[in-house]
Structure 1
Amino acid sequence: MKKPVRFAIDNGYYDHKVAYWEGDQVRTFKYPVVIGSEQEALNSMDGRLVGMYESGGGRYVVDPSISNKISLRIEEYGSSVENRILVNHGLHKAGIKSDQEVYLTTALPVRDYYKPNGTKNHALINPQKENMLEPVYVVKSLDGDVEPELVARVTDSRVMSEGVAAVVDFLVQDTSGNARQMRAPIAVFDFGGKTFDIVTVMPGMVIRQSSSGTLHRGTYDIRETFKPMLADYLTEQGVRMKTAPDWMVTEAFETGAVQVVDNDAPGGMRSIPVRELINEAARPTVNECKRFAQQTLPNMAEYEAILLAGGGGLLCEPLFEDWKQEFNLIVRDEFANARGMLKIDLVL
């Protein structure tokens, strides 16, 4: 009988970040949050379906190349079948087999996990927990000659607050379960896909609601600004382009450059740096986030640490250089929440 395995999936709106144990090491990976209907079916050269799943009576395809994407900017995202499919896609990518029992932890933003009065928002937490217990199947054929196969046996489902999870990751440095002692508040700026969330965690892992909050700005806002700027810039560079495709925007955000076909360049490809263009596109959003942070945390000197987490934090790190010097801002990678969701078992 296989032992259950613990997975943590930070299931946001932009990328899903996965963390799991491999021996005494935490392994991580991410994948884009892109899902479409059965009509977006993809297949390999040998005719096998790629990225198709079935759950709740519907079939869906998960792949970054999907043209007609299902919009996920909905309030009930956590309890949606699309979220369930996307989370199971992560389990499938990790190599989980259908007979493997999985203990799964997913996340909610702090603004959704807690009510304004500080109590847990069970109206959102419980439906997401139950949602992840529903079975999801990999569809291998549309002809009916191969039965859909269960992705994994998820037998335990928990939900944790983002932001708080990033603090756990910061405090628990290894697998011993020993956490560094908190001497003063720690704040987390969680720069996500659609929001910039601030949470203040006091010694004893107590949330201080008066210095926590949410600004509805995120990486998607930067993408919308950057996309036409990229097309115009590439046109100036002699690249014929009316609209920059989504995959090129993603490539730019991940590498700071875009590759374009150029027969005169070595290897037939030319690399065009766009880091400064990204900074220009991101600056208005980052400035809004900074103003919001200063309003929410008027005395940043009282904090033991201020952590900048989330994919937006890494993307916009150059624009926070001044705060590294002034407020000792610590930039964490985009897997901080997922790792903390996994490590919480070490200290419970």
Structure 2
Amino acid sequence: MTENSKKSEILNVAVDDGYAQTKLVGEHPETGEIVQEIIRSSVRQGRSGLSSFSGGGIDQYETEEGDIFTVSNEIESENTQFDGFHTSQLNRVLVNHALVKCGYGGKSVNLVTGLPVADYFLDDERDIEHIDAKTSNLKLGVSGPDGRAMPKVEDVRVGCQAVAAWFDYVLDDNLDQRHDATGSIAIVDIGGRTTDVAVVVGGNAIDHSRSGTENIGVLDVYTEVRKAIHREFKIKEKFPLDKLDAAVRTGTIRLWNKEQDISELVETVVSEHEGKIAREVERRLGSAANLDAVVFVGGGSALFTTIAGYFPNGHMPEDPEFSNAKGLYKFIRVKG
């Protein structure tokens, strides 16, 4: 491949644009290696009121509509838990931010992304209006006020997030089949705001009677941990998303310049929410005895490490947080 043809190449990139995290999988524009990155969905409209000594860590973008947004782990994020998130300017900024951070600035990309089950389907049919709205939103422009090169989104394809994770379960990284695709497989995608259940039958159909979306996810854990910290330490301070995430994952938080052990507090909150999610899954699937597998994916699955044990045929991939993004990328490689 010549240098000129490489520059003009349109790259396939998959972005799982969640309420808590943005996950990206794609071919690196320079090295050709597979890029796999997680970026916190920490964004708010307007300027942050912060400035960086080094010029890094605080990124501001302007949308085609003329609004300014700040993306940074150092700010308190706007609440992304609203119904219109996937067709919002917040979402578009986060997707473009992820592309820039992963080296796609100035590059042409074919973008494949997803919607939760309840947004992708309307009754038993694809929700074309919602799918088209997300597609149109991601084709609108975002610019960097500092003049940085932004990605050029040539095309957008929108899939169902949980079904994308089915692709990742069935196919390995070489696109060879690693699990039987002809049976009935339930994908449970525990995300930031929602938990999606999608029962894939025979590799080509969705059982809508057992599929759907519940409004419970990782951000609910963060909210309850924050409240518990306030009660335990008698404080009212707000915490950025990355600090809450670190507190939940490590069981410690730095207050008054000292590491505070909050492991019991975190364990209690995580256990309560894991039980709630497991019961919601049971309401849809029953004992899951007539399914080949119940596959747990998403950021919540990485947090609720024992949830697959609720079902004898429960399964958790080695890297559940990336299952949606990897599945979307595998889908576009298979389908073209």
TM-score range, shorter chain: 0.7 to 0.9
| Coordinate RMSD, CA, aligned | 2.5
Q: Which residue of 1 aligns with 2:244?
A: 249
Count matched residues: 324
Q: Does the aligned pair in 2 maintain the 1:41–1:61 contact within 8 Å? A: no
Question: How is 1:132-281 mapped onto 2 (pairs within 5 angstroms)?
Answer: 132-140=138-146, 148-176=147-175, 178=177, 180-233=179-232, 235=233, 241-243=235-237, 245-246=239-240, 247-259=242-254, 270=259, 272-281=260-269
Specify every segment of 5 or more residues in structure 1 that has no aligned partner in the other structure, as ranges. 141-147, 263-268
Correspondence 1:37 to 2:45: yes
Which of 88, 93, 109 does residue 96 from structure 2 map onto? Answer: 88
Alpha-carbon distance between aligned partners in 2 of 1:47 and 1:274, rounded to the nearest angstrom: 33
Match of 2:68 in 1: 59
Q: Matched residues in 1 for 2:35 and 2:46: separation? A: 31
Greater shift in the superposed pair: 293-302 or 40-49: 40-49
Could you tell me whether the CA contact under 8 Å between 2:184 and 2:292 is conserved in 1?
A: yes
Structure 1: distance between partners of 2:56 and 2:296: 42
The answer on 1:342 being equivalent to 2:329 is yes
Residue aligned with 2:134, SS: helix
Aligned residue number for residue 145 of structure 1 = none
Query: Secondary structure of the residue that 2:324 maps to in structure 1?
Result: helix
Q: CA deviation at 1:48?
A: 8.1
Report SS of the residue matched to 1:95: coil
Q: 2:320 aligns with which of 333, 338, 348?
A: 333
Q: Which amino acid aligns with 2:239?
A: P
- 1:119 aligned partner: 125
Against the structure 1 CA distance between its residues 4 and 134, is the aligned structure 2 distance closer, same or farther, given a 3 Å change threshold?
A: same
| Percent of aligned pairs with the same amino acid | 25
Name the CA shift for 1:299/1:241 in 2 (closer, same or farther; >3 Å).
Answer: closer
2:297 pairs with 1:309: yes
Report if the CA contact (8 A) 1:109-1:163 is conserved. Answer: yes
Matched residue SS, 1:158: strand
Which residue, 136, 142, 145 being the options, matches 1:130? 136
Q: What secondary structure does 1:61 align onto?
A: strand
Aligned-partner SS, 2:122: coil
**Superposed CA offset, 1:167-225 (max 9, x none):** 10111112245564324211011111111111100113311101112221111222222
Query: Quick one: distance in 1 between partners of 2:175 and 2:297?
Result: 23
CA distance in 2, matches of 1:244, 1:136: 29
Unaligned runs of 5+ in 2: none
TM-score by length of 2: 0.87
1:266 maps to what in 2? none
Q: Is the partner of 1:39 in helix, strand or coil?
A: coil
Deviates more, 1:74-83 or 1:154-163: 74-83
Decide whether the 8 Å contact of 1:197 with 1:215 is kept in 2: yes
Give per-residue Cα distances to partners, 1:41-71, cap 9 Å, x unaligned: 543326689401111212211112224x434
CA contact (8 A) 1:228 1:243 kept: no
2:99 aligned with 1:104, yes or no?
Answer: no
Report if aligned partners of 1:199, 1:207 keep a CA contact under 8 Å in 2.
yes
Cα 1:50–1:64 change in 2 (3 A) is closer
Supply the distance in 2 between the matched residues of 1:242 and 1:132 (Cα, whole angstroms): 37
Do the aligned partners of 1:78 and 1:124 also contact (CA within 8 Å) in 2? no
| TM-score, normalised with respect to structure 1 | 0.84
Deviation of residue 292 (structure 1)? 1.7
Quote the offset at 1:285 in angstroms. Answer: 2.5
The separation in 2 between residues aligned to 1:199 and 1:273, in whole angstroms, is 38
